């Protein structure tokens, strides 16, 4: 798939940065002394946990809504915006829409933790709980688009969404232009694909490593099959990495295939240990999806000695009961 086909370019990522300025934060990139000593490398942590909504998703949602208003005018969104989400994207859409005075409806499966539902509702969006998977929640989204004329803000599979997430890649290259490797959680592919589009355009030799769940890894299974495939969604500490990529995926499947250099799958135990390590040693509260980069380093012994490595800590939306479960799995 060429750049013109997936629609994400370095230029579109710079345009996204202009649109999201003042809405999404430019987040810190900090060096972890403890992890650097542990892995004999310079380990840098990109703190997307410091976004106003607690996760990177604000970048893509803000970029898409702002771009639609820019191109078609505010009246085009009069019926409101709608999406399906595992939580973080829904909160981002709700936040961005509320800042722009636009109604938002967020469709969530029953697997989405209650803390994320409460956070979305607090932003004034309507929440609909539908089905046992993100794909089932998307059925309700399609109905609302068709019957009410609402505008879909997809969680990942759109060039505007991926370009928004790609602004992380610009910041990485500005703050650490000689990065050897970036390790990113992989689900629908908007985060990894967007970051990869920016990083590879600026420094092609930087390796881009994706990390998925050990079960229910829809993007990885699709890449293995050579086409988008459906997988059974499973409960995980890294619930934000759940869900399918869409059988009609038009953007992120090809984008991830183009930019990702290698890939690892991590166990629930490894995710639990990474979450607890980041809390106890870095004083960072992160959700499971944000901890998978560290989980992959620890579980698979990725060779990073002497390298400069960035881990994307993608969000902090973890329920206390989930954190307790992680601690219990670690024997804490």
Contact 63, 162 (CB under 8 A): no
Which tokens is 137 given? 């929640």
**Rg value, the chain, Cα:** 18
Burial of 3 (C-beta count, 10 Å sphere; 0-12/13-18/19+): middle
Q: Which residues are catalytic?
A: 57, 314
Chain Cα centroid distance, residue 117: 17
Q: In a 10 Å sphere around its CB, with 0-12 CB exposed, 13-18 middle and 19+ buried, how is residue 165 labelled?
A: buried
> Distance (Å, rounded) from C-alpha 108 to C-alpha 113?
10
Segments in 111-217 forming alpha helices (H):
114-121, 134-148, 159-175, 190-202
Contact 312, 168 (CB under 8 A): yes
Q: Which residues are 312's β-sheet partners?
A: 46
Closest CA relative to residue 238, chosen from 270, 280, 283, 277? 270
Residues in the chain: 332
Nearest to 287 by CA among 214, 189, 185, 209: 185
Q: Give me 295's structure tokens.
A: 């989980």
């Amino acid at each position: 798939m060429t750049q013109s086909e997936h629609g994400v370019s370095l230029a579109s990522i710079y345009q996204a940065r202009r649109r999201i300025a003042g809405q999404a934060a430019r987040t810190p990139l900090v060096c972890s002394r403890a992890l650097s000593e542990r892995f004999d490398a310079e380990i840098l942590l990109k703190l997307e946990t410091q976004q106003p909504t607690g996760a990177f998703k604000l970048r893509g949602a803000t970029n898409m809504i702002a771009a639609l208003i820019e191109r078609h005018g505010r009246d085009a969104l009069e019926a409101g915006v709608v999406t399906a989400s595992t939580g973080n994207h829904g909160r981002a859409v709700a936040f961005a829409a509320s800042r722009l005075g636009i109604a938002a409806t967020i469709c969530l499966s029953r697997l989405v933790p209650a803390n994320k539902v409460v956070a979305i509702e607090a932003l004034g969006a309507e929440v609909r709980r539908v089905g046992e998977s993100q794909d089932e929640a998307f059925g309700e989204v399609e109905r609302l688009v068709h019957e009410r004329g609402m505008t879909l803000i997809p969680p990942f599979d759109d060039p505007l969404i991926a370009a928004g997430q790609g602004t992380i890649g610009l910041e990485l290259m500005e703050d650490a232009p000689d990065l050897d490797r970036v390790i990113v959680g992989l689900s629908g592919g908007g985060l990894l694909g967007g970051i990869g589009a920016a990083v590879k355009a600026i420094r092609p030799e930087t390796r881009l490593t994706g990390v998925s769940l050990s079960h229910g890894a829809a993007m990885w299974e699709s890449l293995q099959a050579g086409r988008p495939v459906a997988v059974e969604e499973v409960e995980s500490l890294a619930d934000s990495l759940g869900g399918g990529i869409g059988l009609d995926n038009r953007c992120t499947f090809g984008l991830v295939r183009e930019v990702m250099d290698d890939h690892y799958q991590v166990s629930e135990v490894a995710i639990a240990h990474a979450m607890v390590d980041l809390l106890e040693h870095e004083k960072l509260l992160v959700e499971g999806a944000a901890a998978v980069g560290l989980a992959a380093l620890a579980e698979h012994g990725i060779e990073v000695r002497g390298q400069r490595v960035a881990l994307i800590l993608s969000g902090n939306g973890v329920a206390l009961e989930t954190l307790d479960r992680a601690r219990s799995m670690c024997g804490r």
